Amino acid sequence: MAFLSFSIPNLVLTLFASIVTATVAPVAAGSGIPEVKAYLNGVDAPGILSFRTLVIKIIGSISAVSSSLLVGKAGPMVHTGACVASLLGQGGSKKYGLTWKWLRFFKNDRDRRDFVTCGSAAGIAAAFRAPVGGLLFAIEEMASWWRSALLWRAFFTTAIVAILLRAFIDICKSGKCGLFGTGGLIMYDVYSADASYHLADVPLVLLLGVVGGILGSLYNFLLDKVLRIYNFINEKGIAPKIFLACTISILTSCLLFGLPWLASCRPCPSDASEACPTIGRSGNYKKFQCAPGYYNDLASLIFNTNDDAIRNLFSKDTDKEFQHSSMLIFFVTCFSLSVLSYGIVAPAGLFVPAIVTGASYGRFVGMLVGSHSNLNHGLYAVLGAASFLGGSMRMTVSLCVIILELTNNLLLLPMIMLVLLISKTVADAFNGNIYDLIMKAKGFPYLETHVEPYMRQLTVGDVVTAPLQLFHGIEKVGNVVHVLRTTRHNGFPVIDENPLSETPVLYGLILRAHLITLLKKKAFLPTPNPTVNDAFSQFSAVDFAKRGSGNGDKIEDIKLSEEEMEMYVDLHPFANASPYTVVETMSLAKALILFREVGLRHLLVIPKISNGSPVMGILTRHDFMPEHILALNPLLARSRWKRLRIRFPPSLKPF
């Protein structure tokens, strides 16, 4: 009976989360951090930041977290923050009638990206009540471009989050808000004025960091493999997806309910600071199936919210509370369940599972070390969580500040920094950051910051392939429609005849979206002669504002008569007359730096000697992908061990 009343609500909640996710917004599944990170890099995958995704993410995340699955809420909260920001940045959701006129001023790529960065900072800030940590997370992990104005805006955002959280906690002190506000502004407070440790503790902590790094990279490796298997199942349709989610839910329920039987009952300590044993409330001592006066330590960890489990693991002066075997079982359970739960079709974060897993690992190490160390087991749990997070997520300063804001133990800071450094370094030798692995598995064309060594040996002329579509400054409407229908390109060079010589000159670059706007408004000329510049009277700037992803008009929707097809359109007022260009002999590595640092979508390649077309081609994000370049130049072997190689600093080469 107890098992049924535990597992059936779990199953129902999981079922609900997976059904709404699978049917309404499949992109809301998973953490959302990889998607938002890819968006901030310039990958505009459809529907990722839509209003529908937002709703499902919130509902699904609440039910998934409540269903005892080992999934976190931080990732979904980042995604939620990003969705809200993106909707604000595109002036609300037109589809659902939620629009604000003044917000249309932000309808451009850069402002929307900045909004989304601030939104993701707010997500972490709200999830962990860590405003500075959230801001740093957005800098370190999410943003691909950073500038000082953005730092200050993100700080503003997280400051508002902090002030609101503080106000709500104040208001909720009466206890009317459920679990919200427990723990105050600091979620897992482990402050102690005398957290003393000495040089003798350093080797043990180093070892903890090394093993944490190995465990973290193993976690990434396994998660990647499991995701690939799940993808195989998920591709088969909605029913298998939901079936998979239910299987995981039932497995979780069985494990959680069955495992505490393995732990023996222990007598309550006589000097316990809280009630012992207890039923139904959070705390360190759970009765489970024990006799009065006894408690089950494994049940204390399992039959709690994740937050309470972490708080128990981090607690000080409780060194004798847990048994070695219980802690080991708990660690293995968390590790495997979090690997298995992430890939199901429901919103699921990775942060909290990683903290629980790492904390149980650290606490287990602390228990093994026992009295040989000056640090108590709770602090070992903090360091273990740091090492596991560092090994899996590979962040440094943001994790450091998040842990600091979670635990409020500034004296432990040097130790946390040390552990993060060690575990990140160790784990980097094996594989990449968990979010990058997920992003790669999803096939996003993410533009890396670093340049692959073989790119230095290529010129941009070597990778330009596509047959180029050009427009003349004054082009026939039929031509424009034909080109737009037959290609998927998003940018087209505009050329002009040169009265002084035979070869034409480059005028600029025009975007597909702007061409479609021109066609839609029918801003045509009857003859191919430029008129006086009255084009702007017909258009306002808002017509050319960037739409939300997927909301743009399509060329197929535009109907033009035969007569109109024979007319002309003057592209000059609407083309970007200052596109960034590189000469064909430019090193590919340097072109990538330009592309990446300036944040371009199109880069024009111009010939070195102009005796024909003034433009050789357009480079886009896809032309810089290692897969594309290696397919064109199969002789360039991609070094597998490039991370470990000593690189020759570029300026030493006399280029």
Q: Is 281 in the site for a copy of itself (CB under 8 A)?
A: no
Q: Which stretch binds a copy of itself (CB under 8 A): 258-266, 413-421, 550-558, 637-645?
A: 413-421
Return the bridge partners of 30, or none.
347
Q: Is 108 in the site for a copy of itself (CB under 8 A)?
A: yes
Which 29-48 positions form the footprint of a copy of itself (CB under 8 A)?
none
Which residues lie below 8 Å from residue 624, measured CB to CB, with a gap of 6+? 447, 463, 588, 592, 595
Binding mask 367-396 toward a copy of itself (x if CB under 8 A, else -) reads: -----------------------------x
Considering the complex, what minimum distance in angstroms separates the CB of residue 191 from a copy of itself?
7
- CA dihedral (632, 42, 396, 194) in degrees, to 10, reads -170
Which residue, 565, 478, 574, 564, is CA-closest to 518? Answer: 574
The residue from 101, 611, 640, 641 that contacts a copy of itself (CB under 8 A) is: 611
Which 168-187 positions form the footprint of a copy of itself (CB under 8 A)?
170, 184-186
Structure tokens at 607: 């010939």
Run of H or E residues at 599: none
Q: Are 86 and 548 in contact (CB under 8 A)?
A: yes
Q: Is 593 in the site for a copy of itself (CB under 8 A)?
A: yes
The residue from 12, 58, 66, 140 that contacts a copy of itself (CB under 8 A) is: 140
Q: Which stretch binds a copy of itself (CB under 8 A): 63-71, 105-113, 216-224, 281-289?
A: 105-113
- Closer of 121 and 339 to a copy of itself (Cβ): 121
Q: Is 146 in the site for a copy of itself (CB under 8 A)?
A: yes
Which residues lie below 8 Å from residue 540, measured CB to CB, with a gap of 6+? none
The residue from 19, 226, 545, 555 that contacts a copy of itself (CB under 8 A) is: 545
Other CB atoms within 10 Å distance of the CB of residue 289? 11
Q: Is 115 in the site for a copy of itself (CB under 8 A)?
A: no
Q: Is 229 in the site for a copy of itself (CB under 8 A)?
A: no
Which 462-521 positions form the footprint of a copy of itself (CB under 8 A)?
498, 500-501, 505-506, 514
The residue from 135, 340, 352, 567 that contacts a copy of itself (CB under 8 A) is: 135
In single-letter form, the type of residue at position 387 comes to S
The C-alpha atoms of residue 446 and residue 439 are separated, in whole angstroms, by: 8
The C-alpha atoms of residue 100 and residue 80 are separated, in whole angstroms, by: 20
Q: Is 561 in the site for a copy of itself (CB under 8 A)?
A: no
Q: Are 493 and 470 in contact (CB under 8 A)?
A: yes
Q: Give how many residues touch a copy of itself by CB under 8 A.
A: 97
Run of H or E residues at 83: helix 74-89
Q: Are 612 and 503 in contact (CB under 8 A)?
A: yes
Tell me which DSSP letter residue 456 carries.
Answer: G
Other CB atoms within 10 Å distance of the CB of residue 203? 9
What are the strands, taking DSSP E only, across 270-375? 294-295
The residue from 23, 109, 293, 566 that contacts a copy of itself (CB under 8 A) is: 109
The C-alpha atoms of residue 616 and residue 607 are separated, in whole angstroms, by: 6
Considering the complex, what minimum distance in angstroms separates the CB of residue 198 from a copy of itself?
6
The residue from 8, 206, 410, 466 that contacts a copy of itself (CB under 8 A) is: 410
The C-alpha atoms of residue 119 and residue 81 are separated, in whole angstroms, by: 4
- Closer of 8 and 167 to a copy of itself (Cβ): 167
Q: Is 532 in the site for a copy of itself (CB under 8 A)?
A: no
The residue from 14, 21, 41, 158 that contacts a copy of itself (CB under 8 A) is: 158
Angle at 546 between CA 540 and CA 550, to 5 degrees: 130
The residue from 20, 78, 418, 483 that contacts a copy of itself (CB under 8 A) is: 418
Q: Is 581 in the site for a copy of itself (CB under 8 A)?
A: yes
Q: Is 198 in the site for a copy of itself (CB under 8 A)?
A: yes
Which residues lie below 8 Å from residue 307, measured CB to CB, with a gap of 6+? 179, 182, 183, 187, 188, 352
The residue from 11, 17, 132, 340 that contacts a copy of itself (CB under 8 A) is: 132
Q: Which stretch binds a copy of itself (CB under 8 A): 218-226, 305-313, 358-366, 408-416?
A: 408-416
The residue from 99, 305, 469, 576 that contacts a copy of itself (CB under 8 A) is: 576
Coil, strand, or helix at residue 276? coil
Which residue, 307, 308, 255, 260, is CA-closest to 284? Answer: 308
Considering the complex, what minimum distance in angstroms separates the CB of residue 23 from a copy of itself?
36
Q: Which stretch binds a copy of itself (CB under 8 A): 38-46, 153-161, 235-243, 335-343?
A: 153-161
Q: Are 134 and 118 in contact (CB under 8 A)?
A: no
Q: Which stretch binds a copy of itself (CB under 8 A): 239-247, 520-528, 535-543, 547-555?
A: 535-543
